[in-house]
Amino acid sequence: MSEQKKWKPKMDAEHYDRLVQKHSPQSKSFKTIPFAFLIGGLICVVGQLLLTWFTSMGAEKELAGTLVSISLITLSAILTGIGIYDNIAKFGGAGTLVPITGFANAVVSPALEFKSEERVIITLSQKCRCFRRVC
């Protein structure tokens, strides 16, 4: 029997670049950048409104700034927990990542994912124990 040589396609850099450009999704920067600016700006407006409210309630500026940070983190964590922040992030893109609310979302989201995975693991281990009792 004769040995068959394996066919290896030869691709130069230009051909590869054309393939990448053909199969890559087109950039939607003209659409996403204004939305990111809008959502990031709205988050900052909410922060400024909270700062004005806390100072009008008699808090010193430094304490009011701390209270604004705590409020925005808490609000972001709650919105992430009930699934609203993800929808805002789909609309606003990077505009939701820049302010402090993006930090809270980054902390809460993995915790929620771990909690849902933990339920599956516990459920599977409980079923395994049931099978062991039968044997």
Residue 43 belongs to some domain of the structure: yes
Residue 55 belongs to some domain of the structure: yes
DSSP state of 97: T
Residue 130 belongs to some domain of the structure: no
Residue 4 has pLDDT above 80, yes or no: no
Residue 40 belongs to some domain of the structure: yes
Q: Supply 57's token pair.
A: 């309630």
Residue 95 belongs to some domain of the structure: yes
Residue 123 belongs to some domain of the structure: no
Cα distances (Å, whole numbers) of residue 87 to 30, 80, 83, 90, 96:
20, 9, 7, 5, 11
**pLDDT grade for 132, boundaries at 50, 70 and 90:** very low
pLDDT tens profile 69-118: 999 989 888 888 888 888 888 888 877 776 777 777 777 877 777 665 55
Helix (H) or strand (E) holding 80: helix 61-81
Residue 68 belongs to some domain of the structure: yes
> In total, how many domains does the chain have?
1
Query: In 3D, which of 41, 56, 99, 110 has the Cα closest to residue 75?
Result: 99
Mapped onto helix, strand or coil, the DSSP state of residue 8 is coil
Residue 8 belongs to some domain of the structure: no
Higher per-residue confidence, 58 vs 23: 58
Domain encompassing residue 66: 31-109
